[in-house]
Amino acid sequence: MNEITQILLSPQGVGCDSEELMPLVYNDLRRMAAARMASEAQGQTLQPTALVHDAWLRMFGNGERRWQNRGHFFGEATEAMRRILIERARRKSRLKHGQGWVRLDIDELSLAEATPDDKVLLINEALEHLEAEDPERAKVVVMKFFGGLTNQEVAKILGVAERTVERQWAYAKAWLFQNIREQI
Amino acid sequence: MDDTLSREEEVFDAARKLEDPAERGAYLDRACDDDPKLRERVEALLSIHSHAEELFTECFSALRSSADNPESPAAERDLARGGEEEQPGAQIGHYKILQKIGEGGCGAVYTAEQEKPMRRLVALKVIKLGMDTRAVIARFDAERQALAMMDHPNIAKVLDAGATHTGRPYFVMELVRGTRITDYCDQNQLDTRDRLELFIQICNAIQHAHQKGIIHRDIKPSNIIVTLHDGLPVPKVIDFGIAKATEAPLTDKTLLTLQNQLIGTPAYMSPEQAATGGLDIDTRSDIYSLGVLLYELLTGKTPFDSKTLLQSGLDEMRRTLRDEEPQRPSALLTVLAGSDLTTTAARRHAEPPRLIALMRGDLDWIVMKALEKERARRYETANGLAMDIKRYLTNEPVMARPPSRTYRLQKLVRRNKVVFIATAAVSAALIAGLGTSTWLFLQEREARQRAVAAEHQQIRLTQDAERARSNEAKLRLQAEARERITQAEVLVSQGRFDEADKMIREVSPMGPSVEHAAVLRSLSEWHALQSRWTQAVDRFGLLLQVNQLDGWDQSSLDFLGCGVCLIESGAADHYDGFRQAGLFRFASTTNAVGAERIVKISLLESPDTTRIESLAPLARLAAESFATVDSHDTEASFRAAWGSVSLALWEYRQGHYAESIVWARRCLAFPDYNAPRAATAHLELALALSQTGQRDESLRELSQARQSIESKFNEGLEPGSAAQGFWFDWVFARILLREASE
């Protein structure tokens, strides 16, 4: 168990404030980000710091925060990364398609023609549906897809078996794809 | 968890692993035996399974490359050059872009036309740095109300904020057409007086903002635009609220960014702003930046060179701002190269020697007071700074003072700051309540533990207080309190003590402050000289909570004044708490004069034996130091004579009468004469001689002292001076006279 989770799980750690955690969390976020990017990046230069920095601002921008436990914390951390990545994808998508796009107009898009950024946005919209139906599985998707965590890490964070994470992730991917297809 | 989904997931998971269609079919037959709908759904999922995996793999890479190089400067620049640049005619929110009027480090400024709710021209600033737009706007919104309350002719209002369609934050401001202040002054060859007049207007604007709870955080020449109104220059402060909204943590990276943009913000940054990256900032940070601006208006240079600061790296920059004393303006001008100096002087419509002479003295000290590292030493308010400049312009004495010798010794304190602050906090805790009528009365045995607890508490409170400083409501209150201190200081300087007293009555201590201490000291003395002892004790009680920056000399004198007032007011039950506070403040002193004063004031009333023991180290320090004195050294003799008075009392209170007599006679033997000191020594002799049975001699000493003291009080008590003795030295003698007369 790493340092930050130890703090978060210790009796005193419940409700401990962001200032204390900052350096630890920062390292962990960086590691999380690096892990995600390293997973499929052969021979590429990766700069996770900028992403982590943004995530950090999202989480701490509004002053002090308190987390109940590590699940809560990592949930928010990966959520923050999701928001950043989505914002960027939106921006790029808008540039590509011209201005004035606030939300992706699904009707005018077929999956085959969509850019990867568009697809990320589509997945995100489907994920919003999943969140409405089953927040627990949606959380796994956020951690896996946007947070770049491994099955093992997600399992530890959520306190479930690794096998469960694998099963939920596989199912969610199919569910999301189906949801996208239904909408296009 | 949803049961249907769980079941679906379970079946799907098992089935997707069975690659053989027959096996898979058989499994599904079994698993979905009585549930055709389930089978239908699972089969649908299985049919898209591989497409889904493909999609996610592809998107994963897309995300990775997005995160890979998210907002690189190059990408940023491309974006800025490409379709991103706001073109004339473009619409942003309610605003139509007209033309670009400026390009700064962090963004471009355009004139724009607002259409709703009214048609007018505004300035629109688009922030270029890769910023988190939502956070920027949220921070701006948090301050929007306070910003809206600002209404001052020298402030350009910030009207609105929002995000462009490309996701960048923008700010809408009152349109100000003009020249940045430094350029305006140089181009028009404004002389020093005219520059100061403009600067006073800027101070007034900042003061107004501070009273609304707004700190500017980025005062620098490019944020102060001079416009002409009927031919008269009017400076306008722009960008209020923007620095706070767009504040990024100060890191080596941001420093690098600043460097590339060639903007010199670090040169205007207060030491605490550089150190904490904006976490611990109050209105006095703006006072520092105003000081830098004033420095530049007067000399053409900033106290520290921007480029050097930027290139030295973050740690070195912080160190410079924290530790290095900038040159006084006059000193800087003196060392300027010939041609530089000629240009600088010409721009100020002056001959070089004349310009230097003008700076030397008052202006030097005004600038340096604004630039103090320790914010409690700066002007409390922008208004205070402005008023001091006005005083300079009308040839009145200014509040800013050159550092005295004792003050320079004080600077040593900074090196031992932790210890210093800790003891100061203990003193404050012990003294707390003095001003509000309840003294902390500490039991002897518990004193230490409780003091330590109090110290922790105090440190925590201080930290909490620091944290809360960013809170606007609190800032407003503080600004108001500081303003009262500044006004009271002016009233005191005009001899209007009763008004000053009313002005400052509501102000509770906000930590060490040179100005606050000075005002309280004057008012304590004023009350004491009118024999209003209770009021004097009240003011002294507050004074002892804020005078930590005044050094051992002044603060030990403050203890002397407080002690005699306390006894005269009849608050005997508070005397012990007071002694304890003095002892704590000076417990680790190595200064014999401070030690001897604390010993003396602690023994003015007879203490019990434990108290005497606790004073022993201080008395020992004094005795060692004053035992031998070079009689040619007048200052040493002067100190030793006073020390002897204290040591005579020290011995007397322990019943060592012979020793007491030796010290008292020694005091009287010093060649220089000081009336209250001599009177006190005579009284000590009278007391000790009476104890040893030498009644006649005792009475002679007593009558000599009585004569001197009564005639002084008949002719009226005055503040006095170090050489002649202060008012409290006389009150001290009179209290001892009462004891000796019994």
In this prediction, residue B445 carries a pLDDT of 36
Q: Which residues are CB-neighbours of A127 under 8 A, at least 6 positions away?
A: A138, A141, A142, A145, A176
Give the number of beta-carbon pairs within 8 Å between A and B.
120
Q: Which residue of B has its CA nearest to A137?
A: B1
Q: How many CB atoms lie within 10 A of CB A1?
A: 9
pLDDT of residue B264: 45
**Which positions ≥6 away from B620 have C-beta within 8 Å?**
none
Calpha distance B558→B577 (Å, rounded): 15
Picking from B534, B282, B490, the residue whose alpha carbon sits closest to that of residue B390 is B490
Contact call for A134 and B1, based on CB within 8 A: yes
Structure tokens at B572: 């005997």
Q: List the strands of the sheet with B107-114, edge to edge.
A: B91-92, B95-103, B107-114, B120-127, B169-174, B158-163
The residue count for chain B: 742
Q: Does pTM top 0.90 for this prediction?
A: no
> How high is the pLDDT of residue B66?
57
Residue B110 Cα distances to A122, B104, B122, angstroms? 36, 11, 8
Instruction: State the CB neighbour count (10 A cutoff) for residue B463.
Output: 11
- Tell me the chain A residues in contact with residue B59 when contact means C-beta distances shorter than 8 Å: 116, 119-120, 123, 145
The pLDDT value recorded for residue A180 is 85
Question: Residue B168: closest CA among chain A residues belongs to which residue?
Answer: A91
Q: B3: nearest CA in chain A? A: A134
pLDDT at B524: 94
Residues of B with CB under 8 A from a CB of A: 1-2, 5, 8-10, 12-13, 16, 44-46, 48-49, 51-53, 55-56, 58-64, 66-71, 83, 130, 132, 135, 138-139, 165-167
Nearest Cα of chain A lies from the Cα of B249 at a distance, in angstroms, of 10
User: In the predicted model, what is the mean pLDDT of residues A68-84?
Assistant: 75
Q: Nearest-CA distance from B579 to chain A in Å? A: 40
Task: Give A44's contacts in chain B (Cβ within 8 Å).
Answer: 68
The predicted complex's ipTM stands at 0.76
Question: Would you give the distance in Å from CA B248 to the centre of its chain?
Answer: 22
- The pLDDT of residue B471 is 56
Per the rule left: phi > 0, alpha: psi between -120 and 50, beta: everything else, A98 is left
Q: Which residue stretches of chain B have pLDDT < 50?
A: 1, 68-83, 259-264, 405-427, 429-448, 464-465, 468-470
The domain segmentation of chain A, as residue ranges, is 3-183
Q: Report phi then psi at B534, rounded to 5.
A: -65, -45
Contact A85 B9 (CB under 8 A): no
pLDDT of residue B255: 57
**Cα B499 to Cα B350: distance, rounded to the nearest angstrom:** 41
CA separation for the pair B610, A175 (Å, rounded):
82
Please give the residue of chain A at the shortest CA–CA distance from B245: A61
Closest CA to B581 of B417, B728, B438, B451: B451
The question of whether B218 is a catalytic residue gets the answer: yes
Is B2 in Cβ contact with A123 (below 8 Å)? Answer: no
Q: Could you tell me where the beta strands, DSSP code E, fall in B220-283?
A: 224-229, 232-237
Mapping DSSP to helix (H, G, I), strand (E, B) and coil, where does residue B472 land?
helix
Rg (CA), chain A: 17
Q: A171–B63: do the CB atoms touch at under 8 Å?
A: no
Per-residue pLDDT at A99? 45
Residues of B in contact with A123 (CB under 8 A): 55-56, 59
pLDDT value at position A174? 92
Q: Which of A173, A176, A180, A183 to mutate to test the interface with B (most CBs of B within 10 A)?
A: A173
What integer pLDDT is reported at residue B695 of this predicted model? 92
Give residue A113's pLDDT: 59
Residue B68 exposure: Cα atoms within 13 Å on the Cβ side: 17
Please tell me the class of the B589-742 domain. Answer: mainly alpha
* Residue range B51-78, pLDDT digits in tens: 888 888 878 766 765 554 444 333 333 3
B155: which DSSP letter?
B
Cβ contact (<8 Å) for B70 and A57?
no
CATH 3.40.640.10 is held by the domain B181-405: no
Nearest by CB to B52, from A92, A136, A177: name it.
A177
Spans of all domains in chain B: 3-68, 76-174, 181-405, 406-584, 589-742
Distance CA(B259)–CA(B250), nearest Å, equals: 13
B1 with A45: Cβ contact below 8 A: no
Q: Which residue of B has its CA nearest to A101?
A: B165
Architecture of domain B76-174 in this structure:
2-Layer Sandwich (3.30)
- Which of B218, B538, B553, B558 is the catalytic position? B218
Residues facing B97 on adjacent strands: B112
